Chains A and B, each alone.
Chain A
């Protein structure tokens, strides 16, 4: 009888040891759900950017050839609207590679609009900064296209490359 009384700490005191695993379980569950929700949101955002980049790509590669004027027309007519509706920032550059494709070792080369034959973006020119875009981990897609070659005004078509760069 005495032993039983020693073990008895009271109606609340008796349940105290069980509170620890319950609190730990609740905390573990809440933190897991919060972490999972943030991961899912991050992945959804990435997938939305990829989806937007594919949508922009379909618009810009609808034809197999492209001139600076074509890009300008499609930019104002379709690309800017699509980019704004998809809530993404984008940069589409068109490069002439008449002698064949040479891959630049400079990681900022795809964002250099000054070196491009033509470009389109839903940002102002001053806002297009290669290092800043690169820091946002953009989705970059490349597509071959026929462009005027060997000169910009040539009636003949040669190798060109379209870079579609999308970020948030």
Chain B
């Protein structure tokens, strides 16, 4: 090989080296830009789940009388939380927690509720505003998430009655209003009659089937069977799910 050609080859080698270095630098930047993203995402989800678990725990301790001061302010909130009057829990004594009222609300006897228990602010035909107390409590406890664009749905599942749509159990009927801040899914999950049977879809299952990125926490919720003399209990699941939503309110 001549000297001139040897010099050309050396320059070519140098440029090739620079190209290879540039390529490897690109790979390094691609790796660095995505480094830790999945771990960060997992920790954000862990925070959300821990927040929701804290909400569930708080529901067991917060007294019914303490949620009576929660108000619905403005038309926008009135559309999100229709017919919400928290003042009706004012006169309950300090020994009655929100979860106590809910348990009494769900413990409806078969005589007054032949279609099964309902979360309807009544124990049989007597007033027991468990649903209202829970709506007021969750309105407040979920406020940080709601203000960040999250929607939530709370429901109770009867473990004795699993359905194909909701394998964990049939959703307990919530007539008229649902425990949610989503206008859209409150409407979609309304109870309806099919073949002379009352059907109510699980709100969380509807949201999941709609393709939303759902986070959900659930805990066992035992309700005393009053007809059995308080000796047996019915097993329910208390479930709260949240999802990011761009649902807007007209008001």
Q: Show the binding face of A for B, using Cβ within 8 Å.
A: 4, 7-9, 14-15, 17-22, 24-26, 28-29, 32-33, 36, 39-40, 43-44, 46-47, 50-51, 54, 57-58, 61, 63-65, 98-101, 103, 141-146, 149-150, 154-159
Q: Is B161 part of the contact surface with A, judged by Cβ < 8 Å?
A: no
Interface string of B1-44 (1 = CB under 8 A from A): 01110110011111101101110110011011001100110010
Q: Is B226 part of the contact surface with A, judged by Cβ < 8 Å?
A: no
Return the contact of A101 from the options B14, B29, B144 (Cβ within 8 A): B144
Least Cβ–Cβ distance between A72 and chain B, in angstroms: 19
Q: Is B214 part of the contact surface with A, judged by Cβ < 8 Å?
A: no
The answer to whether A8 touches B94 (Cβ under 8 A) is no
Q: Is B87 part of the contact surface with A, judged by Cβ < 8 Å?
A: no
The answer to whether A143 touches B143 (Cβ under 8 A) is no
Taken together as a complex, chains A and B put the C-alpha atoms of A154 and B65 apart, in Å, by 12
The answer to whether B47 touches A144 (Cβ under 8 A) is no
Residues of B within 8 A of A61 (CB): 50, 53-54, 57
Q: Which residue of B lies closest to A13 (CB)?
A: B7
Residues of B within 8 A of A19 (CB): 14
Least Cβ–Cβ distance between A145 and chain B, in angstroms: 6
Least Cβ–Cβ distance between B128 and chain A, in angstroms: 19
Q: Could you list 10 further interchain pairs (A-B, Cβ under 8 angstroms) beyond the known A21-B17, A40-B32, A64-B61?
A: A7-B7, A14-B7, A18-B14, A21-B11, A21-B14, A22-B14, A36-B31, A44-B36, A141-B47, A157-B63
Measured as residues with beta carbon below 8 angstroms from the partner, the interface class of chain B is 35 or more
Residues of A within 8 A of B71 (CB): 100
Least Cβ–Cβ distance between B135 and chain A, in angstroms: 14
Least Cβ–Cβ distance between B246 and chain A, in angstroms: 22
Q: Is B58 part of the contact surface with A, judged by Cβ < 8 Å?
A: yes
Q: Which of B78-126 contact A (CB under 8 A)?
A: 94, 97
Q: Show the binding face of B for A, using Cβ within 8 Å.
A: 2-4, 6-7, 10-15, 17-18, 20-22, 24-25, 28-29, 31-32, 35-36, 39-40, 43, 46-47, 50-51, 53-63, 65-67, 69-71, 94, 97, 140-141, 143-144, 147
Given A8-B4, A158-B66, A159-B62, are A25 and B17 neighbors across the interface (CB < 8 Å)? yes
29 residue pairs bridging A and B, Cβ less than 8 Å apart: A7-B7, A8-B4, A17-B11, A20-B14, A21-B17, A22-B18, A25-B17, A25-B21, A28-B18, A28-B25, A32-B29, A36-B32, A39-B35, A43-B35, A43-B36, A47-B36, A54-B43, A54-B46, A58-B50, A61-B50, A61-B53, A61-B57, A98-B69, A100-B143, A145-B58, A149-B63, A157-B61, A158-B66, A159-B58
